[in-house]
Chains A and B, each alone.
Chain A
Amino acid sequence: MELNCPVIALMGNPNSGKTAIFNVLTGLNQKVSNYPGITVEQRIGSAQLPDGLKTDILDFPGTYSLTPESMDEKIVARQVMKWMQGEEKPRAIISVVDADNLSRNLYLTTQLLDLDIPVIVALNMMDRVKRGNRDIDSSVLCEMLGADAVIPMSALEKWGVTELQNAVAHILTNDTKLNPNRLQLQISPEIENHLLPVTEFLKDNFGYENQLARVQALRLITRNSALDLYKEKNGFTAARFETLERIRREVADKMETAGLKHRILEASLRYQMLDSHLKDNNLAEVEEIKKVSRSERADEILTHKWLGPLIFIAILYGIFQSIFTMATVPMDWINTGVGYIGNYFAQTLPGGVLRDLLVEGVIAGVGAIIIFLPQILVLMFFMTLLEDTGYMARVAFMMDRLMNKIGLHGKSVLPLMSGYACAIPGIMATRTIDNWKERLVTILILPLISCSARLPVYTLMIGAFIPEKKVMGIFNLQGVTMVMMYFLGTVTALAIAAFISRFIKKKGISSFVMELPPYRIPLAKSVFRQLLIRGKLFIVNAGKIIMAISIVLWFLASFPKSEADASSLPIQESYAGKIGQAIEPVIAPLGFDWKIGVGLITSFAAREVMVSTLATLYNVEEEGEYVVGITEALKNDVNPVTGLPRYTPLVALSIMVFYVYAAQCMATFAIVRNETNTWKWPLIMILYMTGLAYAGSLLVYQGGLMLGFA
């Protein structure tokens, strides 16, 4: 990364409000949530400081320690290793601390104080401390830590931000030396003697100064993940790594015999130091272990043994049903709007290829997709709410046992739930799962969770072929069908997880250590912002991919023209028609005709393209002065041979089942390739999903025919 500006690193525990601080400093709109570990990668933003100063802010995933446990924590540890070497060193570190949970958060701060870099402590969430009628004397804390500044603040209520900016500016403008009174870990001569071989090795090979070499030695003997970081070091040969490994093992063994618990030594020493200093300075958390918090009381119902899971299922049902019921009114508006625009151009522009391209290709195609914006926003709204309130972490708690039985993890719940919006952020979010096998299985089944790109397909089919009536008095049949599609995808995903996890070798241990954040009322602004980002993304996608495909498709569907008089041939004889008919024999047993076939091909770019494809095909076929409504077109399409409707509820069901299962999103496979570092897993994914889709549709259509449904 080429950086010209001075760089400030932002580090802290998961859920300490790091991302919120990043957002207020940089004015960027990163996703803030109430679920530990939502920042899974490093990102950079530019911040304006007082006096026209500028700096780059580097935001890291949250971590409890510099010894990594999961992939996102490794990102932090790797970068810190570079700093120890003097590479890419930031000008200062902002150590974000949840003031409401001081001692555990300061653990990481003390590790950062061992580095040769100025440290500013952002004492965040002071609003909560004050609400509890407590206070933390920041100057005493600053003195105790020997930090360069301690800034009490609340990123939520937006105070203390200017002070933080000033503190950063002060460090950038004054090239002051490091505070000589930094709180540094004291190591007893006995332990120091034990560590000596490792300490000396680190000094000789990496040029660490004394304190750094000692704490790194201490870290190395705690566990392998600290050692593994050296394995990846540039220019560190395998032979020398083996030497380090050997020395380390000898030291650890000796300590073991001497009765020193080397695995917990660093943390024990640091907490001893921290706890006694906090106590001496009257900063220790008041013992409130018995105090029952409001979140705890809410959980008496929300995570109750059997009420909890019931509530969760009811919430999911409510969300999926409301996608259908809440969004219909704005969808009608958009539908009318698109029709109006299309007709306007159709009637005002002179006839010809350009008008046809615009009306039949672009407006019909893009218009068919934009209609689904309200549904996607409704879905996103509820998902954001579940995450921001802190409910999702509770679901992980309730589901861990079940998830573990089928080869997944409690922490698989959030990625899977994100999958209802889009598989890609879901796959990224699996980085918080420590165990490789559980993470891989989660990734492999994620695309089976019905994402928002399937919504247009489901909605179109349901709207056209599922009658709008009530079942059992209260349920809307269309809504129930929608929920069933989500249910089918989810249940199959879990079944596949149980199946494939038998064949994937287990690496490492599986554990579940997770912080349960308190419930918070989501910030309207943050939720709104998420919706805005999501909506923008959807429209830009519709604008780019779908427009491009619609234009290409329009050409393929409109040409060749008749050689005799350049008039249009029937659409079946166009290039698109030919392509569709070529694959028709394969898909005919599923009840699909050639138009659906073309849609299946274009859907490989993104699933929602199916809808714009049908819209374009029908509009080219009709060649009228009006934009054809696709729902009507589907209903009225008649098979010329039999004289019967081409699409029936059974065909619609078969199409939907196909879309529940089919592997159709190129972006997903690219991201799976990235996250697993091999094409093996995306290929396995494509194969099993395609197999499922074909088998599922075949079963539905042929089974339906046998049962006498037309």
Chain B
Amino acid sequence: MSIKTLNSLIPGETAIVDQFTAELPLQSRLVEMGILPGVELRLVKKAPFNGPLEFKIRGYYILLRWKDAGQILVQG
């Protein structure tokens, strides 16, 4: 188990959300969508050139920007 940023996962890798860094203004919306500490997710796909990332979490798929995903720490 190690702590890393969400955007450093590789496609197919699963991890558990640990915490948000304080700079992420997005966090209020993300938790409302069920992305909160303790929840498991899987990186599905990365768009090229550091484009958005696709995750599977709770029974749905969500897109996040690479930069924003860098503000979310996960245990993987």
Contact = CB atoms under 8 A, between A and B. Distances in A.
Interface in A574-606: none
B3 interface: no
Nearest to A128: B59
Contacts of A267: 28, 31-32, 36
B34 A104 contact: yes
A282 B1 CA distance: 29
Contacts of A396: 63
Contacts of B42: 289-290
A96 B26 CA distance: 25
B29 A100 contact: no
Given A397-B47, A513-B26, A516-B54, 7 more contacts: A65-B29, A101-B60, A222-B28, A289-B14, A306-B48, A401-B49, A516-B62
A64 B60 contact: no
A281 interface: no
Contact of B33 (A64, A100, A400, A518): A64
A514 B63 contact: yes
A67 interface: yes
Interface in B7-60: 14, 20, 25-34, 36-37, 40-42, 44-45, 47-52, 54, 56-60
Nearest to A68: B29
Interface string A287-305: 1111000011001000101
Residue of A65, A100, A287 with most partner-chain B CB within 10 A: A65
Interface in A203-227: 222-223
Residue of B27, B44, B52, B65 with most partner-chain A CB within 10 A: B52
Interface in A483-509: 509
A299 B65 contact: no
A511 B68 contact: yes
B28 A512 contact: no
Contacts of A103: 34, 58-59
A271 interface: yes
A306 B49 CA distance: 11
Nearest to B31: A267
Contact of B31 (A100, A264, A296, A404): A264
Main secondary structure of the interface of B (DSSP, over half): mixed
A672 interface: no
B51 A401 contact: yes
Interface of B: 14, 20, 25-34, 36-37, 40-42, 44-45, 47-52, 54, 56-65, 68
A64 B51 contact: no
Closest 9 CB pairs of A and B: A401-B51, A267-B31, A516-B61, A65-B32, A264-B31, A101-B59, A104-B34, A514-B63, A512-B65
Contacts of B59: 100-104, 285, 288
Contacts of A306: 48
A263 interface: yes
Contacts of A303: 45, 47
B48 A69 contact: no
Contacts of B51: 397-398, 400-401
Contacts of B50: 401
Interface of A: 64-65, 67, 69, 100-104, 107, 222-223, 263-264, 267-268, 271, 285, 287-290, 295-296, 299, 303, 305-306, 396-398, 400-401, 404, 410, 509, 511-518
Nearest to B52: A400
B47 A401 contact: yes
Given A290-B42, A400-B51, A514 B56 contact: no
A515 B62 contact: yes
Contacts of B40: 287, 289
A67 B32 contact: yes
A253 to B, nearest CB: 14
Given A64-B33, A65-B32, A513 B63 contact: yes
Nearest to B49: A401
A398 B65 CA distance: 11
Contacts of A264: 20, 27-28, 31, 36
B54 A513 contact: no
B29 A513 contact: yes
A513 B27 contact: no
A509 B28 contact: no
A575 B5 CA distance: 72
Nearest to A102: B59
Given A299-B45, A514-B63, A268 B32 contact: no
A271 B26 CA distance: 17
B54 A511 contact: no
Residue of B29, B31, B65 with most partner-chain A CB within 10 A: B29
A107 B27 contact: no
B52 A397 contact: yes
Contact of A512 (B31, B37, B56, B64): B64
Residue of B27, B37, B45, B60 with most partner-chain A CB within 10 A: B60
Contacts of B61: 295-296, 515-518
Residue of B20, B34, B59 with most partner-chain A CB within 10 A: B59
6 contacts: A299-B45, A400-B47, A509-B26, A513-B33, A514-B62, A516-B61
A69 B41 CA distance: 23
B53 to A, nearest CB: 9
Given A285-B58, A289-B40, A397-B52, A509 B34 contact: no
A609 to B, nearest CB: 41
A290 B63 contact: no
A661 B61 CA distance: 38
A271 B31 contact: yes
B36 A513 contact: no
A506 B1 CA distance: 40
B15 to A, nearest CB: 10
A700 to B, nearest CB: 35
Nearest to B60: A101
A512 B62 CA distance: 10
Given A104-B60, A287-B40, A400 B32 contact: no
A693 B68 CA distance: 40
Contacts of A299: 45
A295 B26 CA distance: 27
A410 B52 contact: yes
A105 B50 CA distance: 30
A512 B63 contact: yes
B14 A290 contact: yes
Given A222-B28, A401-B49, A511-B65, A296 B44 contact: yes
